[in-house]
Amino acid sequence: KDFGMERVIVVADRGLNTSDNTAFLSGVNDDDSQGHDGYVYGQSVIGGDKKFKKWVLDKKDYTTDREIDENGEEFFFTHKSRVFAKTVTLKSSNGNRTLTMPIYQKQMVYYSSKYAAKQRKEREHILEKARDLINNPGKYTKATCYGATAYIKNLSFTKETGEIADSKNLSLNIEKIEAEAKYDGYYSIVTSEKHLTDKQIYEIYRGLWKIEETFKIMKSELNTRPLFVSLAEHIEGHFLICFTALVIIRVLEHLTEHRFSVKQIRKSLNSYSCSYLDQNFYLFDYRDEFLETSERLFNLDLGKKIMALSEIKNILKAKK
């Protein structure tokens, strides 16, 4: 209301893809059933129902487009979509989940060979742990075998100690492993915005990665935490500086067409410094590709190895 925003489109991973959230954003719980807000959610393929998984594996209607990512690298986007009436179950007036209703959404599924390789690698890592548990059950308890339990048959634990109760008949659940492997590389996204193309849905959802990357940058590259100040105004000042630096780095990323990583940009800016020689002359002993690109972007001349103080001041004055 403060900013005059009429619609909010929530972008979230599959953890928030619940019936309650979907219904709320679709407006079906309100007196105004039009639902002014919307959503773009990730959706688990393996966790879907039989009809959905059958649709995912059906090769019919898949198309492959050649795309260029923000780094200028080519990739192939294999995808298909449909508008589908998803049935959600909500609480009725008596508090029980007995109220069911359809919500029309666009479901998009895409396949990535890189994602398939990543999933296979992650599963193999868990299976190594599961095999070791089967061969050496005494090494594990319920608390230490997290992840591997899903792939082991006949596994149970004692309630008191969490130790494995019976290790005689443990074996890998081959059926489950093979069933999951069929969906390697597939990922689904669902949205209320039925007019969006598959590529638009994919790009919007990828924005989540940018947000997560931003938090990593704040923590690692910009040293947002830990804090070494305690007064409220000092804490606010610290975060203001960090966020301002983040905005500047993101602008530089955009202007340089994402040719340089945040780490490269930060290293270049930190490394471009000078040493005092004599009689107001300074030595600049660092240069790299990012600085050369910045010169062209901002019409700067940073190529001189030695500059007088007056030259440095003129550069700063001209670019204020």
Residue linked to tokens 């007088």: 308
Residue 163 Cα distances to 131, 154, 159, 223, 287, angstroms: 17, 14, 8, 42, 60
- Give the DSSP letter string of 10-69: EEE-GGG--HHHHHHHHTTTSSSTT-S-EEEEEE-STTS-HHHHHHHH--TT-EEEEEE-
Task: Report pLDDT for 210.
Answer: 79
pLDDT exceeds cutoff 60 at 150: yes
71: pLDDT confidence band, cut at 50, 70 and 90? low
Strand partners for 171: 153
pLDDT tier at 121, thresholds 50, 70, 90: very high
Q: Is the predicted pLDDT of residue 310 greater than 70, yes or no?
A: yes
Query: CA 40 to CA 26: how far, in whole Å?
Result: 11
SS3 state at 303: coil
Name the most confidently modeled range: 45-49, 80-84, 224-228: 80-84
Burial zone of 267 (CB within 10 Å; 0-12 exposed, 13-18 middle, 19+ buried): middle
Distance in angstroms (rounded) separating the CA atoms of residues 166 and 116: 35
Is pLDDT of 241 > 80?
Answer: yes
| Residue 33 reports pLDDT greater than 60 | no
Give the list of residues 6+ apart from residue 205 with CB closer than 8 angstroms, or none.
11, 40, 42, 189
Residue-wise pLDDT for 250-292, tens only, equals 899 999 988 898 889 999 999 999 999 999 999 999 999 999 9
Q: What pLDDT band is residue 91 in, cutting at 50, 70 and 90?
A: confident
DSSP string, 261-301: -HHHHHHHHHH--EEEEETTEEEE----HHHHHHHHHHT--
Binned at pLDDT 50, 70 and 90, residue 34 comes out as: very low
Both structure tokens of 118:
């990543």
> Is the distance from CB of 81 to CB of 107 less than 8 angstroms?
yes
Q: Which residue has the tokens 């193309």?
A: 197
